[in-house]
Amino acid sequence: MSIFTKSATELAAMIRAREVSSRELLDGYLDRVERLNPPINAVITLDAERARVAAGAADATTPTGPLHGVPTTIKDAIATEGLRSTGGAVELRDHVPGADAPSVAALKAAGAIVFGKTNLPRWSADIESFNELFGTTNNPWDVTRIPGGSSGGAGAAVAAGLTSFELGTDIGGSVRLPAHFNGVFGLKPSFGVINQRGYLDHVDGGTIDVDINVFGPLARSADDLSMLLDVLAERPLPDARPIERVGVWFDHPSCAVASDYRALLTAAADRLSDSGVKVEEAHPPVDFDEQVRLFSNMVLAAMSPAYPPEVADAISGTHHQWLRNQMERSRLQAIWADWFATYDLLLCPVTACAAPTHKQGEFAQRTLEIDGVQRSYLELVAWTGLIGVLGLPSAVPPIGRTPDGLPVGVQCVGPFLGDRTCIAAARLLGTYEVPPGFE
């Protein structure tokens, strides 16, 4: 394995041991971006000179923070000081923030060297990663397929070894889908654990928290997720609980799961069972369709500022409707909390299938074929929306590849603030592989 596809944890340890310098790593990543990025178009803005100065300064000092000297990129929806940050929107084509988003500042305080930004859809509002400014990002495992969204450039860059790790955002699956489609590890933390200010989801965005939305890391190991959570979390989190009893919820009539992916989900559950964990087909007593419908209603309201005023008013509903939705969410959160008093984790799909081929245009009109049946593209965010609307943590490890050679993952879902338990499960289940051609 190339040094550039090692985990961020390993790279940080090598820098501390003086086995490699920050400048050597940075120059290596910049070289890889120049050579390997064009076919996938994951990294779209560079800040090489300032990064070289910062890397040189890191090499001249004694390593302190856990990310000392580690080069990284940041999703272009997150404000980064002195570095063009557009949210994928032409309205912000020349936007250069004067200050870092708090989460970016936390990474830098831990020693990370930010050297670039990664691609995304306009205002992070798609699971394809394309926009007018920077074009389309492709999946490093197969460039005819999507890398997911909205943190698609982030997921592709981590998978291809163009960066050490990434900071993405997730409102409908935007960390979890790219982790799944690109074969890397991702964490959607519990809502409110990581500061999400500086999120560029509309002009003048980033000044308030957005409902459902979280910031979360993408990386090449579960150890990386754990270290990055330590750096980014703004509230104490309990230790991982022992994983002794796990429920699995792998299918539902409203969201068919492709048979090749379903087989890999079953194999992952079997590995847990073989290790001594009690694994059962069980899930909280909630209605899948009703909970996904609640997600659809609430995420539209949360994303409405990105739309023209007349559209935003129509899709966001009234404050009374939001209060009713909030009461329903609270009721469902209590049901899930009760269930997690008995079960340590829930395993469920990330989405319906491995990475589909590119389909752009009107989102609601897109379809995909699953086991010979045409299905709505909206089904790709059903399983992620089911979890996200309740603010629960979910770690996604890569669990294998389909017969077509495409990676897939599984959602390891825990109780609210059970982020470390989710990461512990990801450590048991997941292994990163380098896509062919990026070794």
Nearest Cα to Cα of residue 81 among 57, 44, 117: 117
- Confirm whether 359 is a catalytic residue: no
Catalytic site residue from 22, 85, 124, 174: 174
Q: Which of 75, 108, 117, 188 is catalytic?
A: 75
Would you call 150 a catalytic residue per the annotation? yes
- Three-state SS string across the chain, please? CCHHHCCHHHHHHHHHCCCCCHHHHHHHHHHHHHHHCCCCCCEEEECHHHHHHHHHHHHCCCCCCCCCCCEEEEECCECECCECCCCCCHHHCCCCCCCCCHHHHHHHHCCCEEEEEECCCHHHCCCCCEECCCEECCECCECCECCCCCCHHHHHHHHCCCCCCEEEEECCCCCHHHHHHHCCEEEECCCCCECCCCECCCCCCCCCCCCCCEEEEEECCHHHHHHHHHHHECCCCCCCCCCCEEEECCCECCECCCHHHHHHHHHHHHHHHHCCCEEEECCCCCCHHHHHHHHHHHHHHHHHHHCCHHHHHHHHCCHHHHHHHHHHHHHHHHHHHHHCCCCCEEEEECCCCCCCECCCCCHHHCEEEECCEEEEHHHHHHHHHHHHCCCCCEEECEEEECCCCCEEEEEEECCCCCHHHHHHHHHHHCCCCCCCCCC
Q: Is 75 a catalytic residue?
A: yes
Measured CA to CA, the distance from residue 115 to residue 58 in angstroms comes to 14
Q: Which listed residue (150, 221, 316, 394) is catalytic?
A: 150
Residues belonging to the active site: 75, 150, 174
